[in-house]
Amino acid sequence: MARNCVSTACALLIGNELLNGSTVDCNLAELASTLRDLGIRLKRALVLPDQVETLCTEIRYSAANYDVVFTSGGVGPTHDDVTIAAVAQAFNVATVIDEDMRRMLADHYGEPLTAGHLQLARVPTGASMMRLPDTPWPTVVMRNVWILPGVPAIFHAKLAAVRHYLTGPVTYHCRTVLCRSDELTLKPQIDITVLANPEVEIGSYPQSPPADAQTKITFEGTSALQLARAVDQFIEGLPVDELVRVV
């Protein structure tokens, strides 16, 4: 099966626990790294409460404006797990019990299934089940919205399906230049390099606590040649002994 080629992505991190600080998100960085490796640009990420209307609005907007949307969280059996309902409402469909999922739950938990078990089998009408041979549970995808769990270990495992079914149109190349001085000292050379290389995304990040390097300068682009040119120009403009290393 050919992988679906998409360019842009949006992430919706769902849960009151993320907004009140009782839980720290561990999923966004993993998703962003996975997408970048695939050549897909993550252009937007939001943290949202467990409220159907709010989620519905954001899902509908994101699905219309990005090639693919990933939700994280809100897919369990309890009262505050409302992501499935919100996705269904965003696409104006009902939710139904997926029979394959129901059978898998029955095999795993045994009969009779409780209402909580059946909640785990409920999906938006028309949703697809993305399966991998070595993964016990399918990933629910409603059109261009991938519905992923919030539990980090399970979320990270589900990214195998993302890598299997999706790809991007480009390859991102990255280099990092570590410098001894702080950002204020490096700013003139950074600005010159940015102005001369609009096709390369350049970032500057203080290192805390600083070790051998006080500042990390990152270079990212879809052209290896353009990226190498930007890195070389930046390094050539540095004072003697300023450069720590390039990685």
CATH of the domain at 196: 3.30.70.2860
77 plus 198 within the same structural domain: no
Q: Is the pLDDT of residue 135 over 90?
A: no
Q: Which of 167, 200, 225 is the last residue of a domain?
A: 167
User: Mean pLDDT across the stretch 46-67?
Assistant: 98
33 and 108 both lie in a single domain: yes
Q: Is the pLDDT of residue 2 over 90?
A: no
What residues contact 159, with CB distance under 8 A and at least 6 apart? 30, 31, 34
Instruction: Give pLDDT tens digits for 209-226.
Output: 767 899 999 999 999 999
The domain in which residue 71 lies consists of: 4-167
**Residue 68 Ramachandran class (φ > 0 left, ψ -120 to 50 alpha, else beta):** beta
Please report, rounded to a whole number, the percentage of residues in the chain having pLDDT higher than 70: 99
Burial 10-30 (b: 16+ CB within 10 A, else e): bbbbbbebbeeeeeebebbee
Counting residues of the chain whose pLDDT is more than 90, the rounded percentage is 89
Query: For the residues 36-56, what does the mean pLDDT come to?
Result: 98
Lowest mean pLDDT among 88-92, 99-103, 217-221: 99-103
pLDDT in the model for residue 106: 92
Give the residue, 141 or 116, on which the prediction is more confident.
141
Note whether 187 and 194 are within 8 A (CB).
no
Distance CA 70, CA 77 (A): 20
How would residue 159 be classed by pLDDT, with cut points 50, 70 and 90?
Answer: very high
Task: Select from 167, 197, 215 the last residue of a domain.
Answer: 167
| Number of compact structural domains in the chain | 2
On the question of pLDDT at 62 being above 80, the answer is yes
Q: Is the pLDDT of residue 123 over 80?
A: yes
Find the mean pLDDT for residues 221-236: 98
Cα–Cα distance between 121 and 119 in angstroms, integer?
Answer: 5
Rounded distance, CA 30 to CA 40, Å? 13
Q: According to the model, what pLDDT value does residue 1 have?
A: 59
Q: Is residue 5 scored above 90 in pLDDT?
A: yes
Q: How far apart are CA 138 and CA 181, in angstroms?
A: 50
pLDDT exceeds cutoff 70 at 31: yes
Whether 146 and 185 map to the same domain: the answer is no
Q: Are residues 211 and 105 in the same domain?
A: no
